[in-house]
Amino acid sequence: MNEYALLYYPDFHPDSVWLRRVLLLSDSVTRIVPTDVEPDDPDELRALQGTIPNSLRTISPEERDVTIESQNLPRLARAFAFLARAQNKGSKKKITMTISGGSMSIAGHVFLHTAKISPVIHEELQRHRLILKGFGQGDFLAVDEGASHLILSAIAENISRRTGFDTITDKPVPFALNALNGLGVGGTGPTNAEGALLSSLATVLIPVSVGSLERDKYRILRESYAGIRGAFKELTAELSRINRLERIDDLQALKEQVEVATEEFVKQYQTFRKTRYARGFKSWAPLYIGGLLSMASALVAPPVAVGIAGASLGIQVIQKKLESPSDQPGRERVFNMLAALQKDIFKRSGVKQLI
């Protein structure tokens, strides 16, 4: 089975706990880094890459990736105009800088490499005064954060088309720019629903205590549950198809529907765990099953409102044969796999599960 590879944006450095969660369900995460830039990873990310080689990779944008298609330029121009108006509200414009550990940050702005900006976009940013003059660092420009996120979303979409990777982010979608939907510019970023769905499932279902595992314990845990990655590649594709997520262009609507699909999936999983079939299983053992699972027509997601915390996923199956009257055995196999990793994570981390 092909690797389940994901394309991360917008930053160089994904949150380490978020990354650990996602890497339990995918083979690798690739971030976007220009060719002449060393990402200067924090200690935790460097250590994770040393423990699990090739888990966090890099890809450099090509010229065609930073070229925004002509049909998107008018929408980006309107978006930049909206951001410029919001930025210029008030009588005085203040610039707040923070210098720490030899690095500088500017409130409301990010440093965007020139390799990620095409000449026409650079001209639009300057025209709307979304670049802070005199605050750049080398090949990096101090760009309004909202504008930067829109640009990087479009670049990620182009690279996704070129490589076939699902895009994924640890930031809220669409980056607190929901108001832009009313301007008709909601389609400027990628609407890759499978990556959004995986990020949502990983965040909701993998306990945060996975971040406290020692690196070797995390590596062993991830190796033990290698089969779940193929299962989740099928799962996200099937959930996206059933819920018609790929047809949604409005990023806020996509965010809401991804949450609905996630909540319904976990609701059904929690219900299954309460059945006498699931409660009766006492012994669990890891099993590598690769592409054995099929999620065909497993889940339909009507609107629900459930609060979820502390659940998690797994790739272990019951030692005894599952006997169930349900007509959806594929779903029950997945639910059984989901039941064990939670227990394993809590056991390895030394944190007691709260029911």
Question: Strand runs (DSSP E) across 79-146, as ranges?
Answer: 97-100, 103-106, 109-113, 140-144
Domain count of the fold of the chain:
2
pLDDT value for 336:
72
Specify whether 209 is located in the same domain as 282: yes
**How distant is the alpha carbon of residue 206 from its chain centre?**
13
User: Is residue 355 one of the residues assigned to a domain?
Assistant: no
- Domain containing 124: what range? 64-188
What is the rounded distance in angstroms from the CA atom of residue 215 to the CA atom of residue 194? 28
Same domain, residue pair 212 and 330 = yes
* Concatenated DSSP letters of 156-197: HHHHHHHH-PEEE-SS-TTTT-GGGGGGT-GGGS---HHHHH
* 307 lies in the same domain as 200: yes
Q: Cα dihedral sign for 325, 340, 295, 288?
A: negative
Residue 267 lies in a domain: yes
Residues 39 and 103 occupy one common structural domain: no
pLDDT at residue 334, rounded to an integer: 67
Instruction: Choose the final residue of a domain: 188, 211, 234.
Output: 188
Structural domain includes residue 14: yes
* Statement to judge: residues 159 and 225 lie in one domain: no
Does residue 260 fall inside a structural domain?
A: yes
Q: Are 218 and 51 in contact (CB under 8 A)?
A: yes
Quick check: helix, strand or coil at residue 64?
Answer: helix
Does 243 share its domain with 322? yes
Residue 58 in tokens: 């890099």
Spatial CA neighbour of 270 closest among 317, 221, 204, 200? 204
Residue that terminates a domain, selected from 134, 167, 188: 188
Beta bridge partners of 100: 103
**Does 278 lie in the same domain as 317?**
yes
Same structural domain, 42 and 20: yes
Full DSSP string of 206-229: S-GGGGGS-HHHHHHHHHHTTHHH
Distance CA 116, CA 141 (A): 10
- Domain check: are 80 and 198 in the same one? no
Position 24 scores a pLDDT of 92
Look at residues 188, 214, 237 and tell me which one is the last residue of a structural domain: 188
| pLDDT tens, residue order, the chain (355 aa) | 578 899 999 889 999 999 999 999 999 999 999 888 888 899 999 999 999 999 999 999 998 888 876 666 777 788 888 888 877 765 456 777 777 666 777 888 888 888 888 888 899 899 988 998 888 888 888 988 888 888 888 888 889 989 989 899 887 644 434 445 444 444 444 457 888 899 999 998 888 999 999 999 999 999 988 878 888 888 888 888 888 887 776 667 777 888 899 999 889 888 877 775 555 544 433 433 322 222 222 222 333 223 222 223 332 332 233 333 333 445 666 677 767 777 788 888 876 655 4
User: For position 58, what pLDDT does the model report?
Assistant: 94
Ranges of H-type helices in the chain: 16-25, 43-51, 63-66, 73-87, 119-127, 145-163, 193-205, 215-224, 227-242, 251-273, 276-279, 329-349
Domain shared by 244 and 152, yes or no: no
Q: State whether 129 and 264 are in the same domain.
A: no
Residue 39 shares a structural domain with residue 130: no
In terms of Cβ atoms closer than 10 Å to its own Cβ (0-12, 13-18, 19+), residue 233 is buried
pLDDT value of residue 29: 96
Print burial letters for 53-83: b (CB count within 10 Å at least 16), e (below 16): eebbbebebeeebbbbeeebeebbbebbbbb
- Which pLDDT score is estimated for 153? 81
The answer to whether 19 and 42 are in contact (CB under 8 A) is no
Task: Give the count of alpha carbons within 13 A of 256, CB side only.
Answer: 11
The answer to whether position 354 is within a domain reads no
By three-state DSSP, how is residue 305 classified?
Answer: coil
Distances in Å between the Cα of 297 and the Cα atoms of 90, 122, 236, 237, 314 are 53, 46, 12, 11, 21
Q: What is the DSSP letter of 310?
A: S
Nearest of 338, 336, 206, 346 to residue 280 by alpha carbon: 336
Residue 314 lies in a domain: yes
User: What's the maximum distance between 2 C-alpha atoms anywhere in the chain?
Assistant: 71
Residue 134 lies in a domain: yes
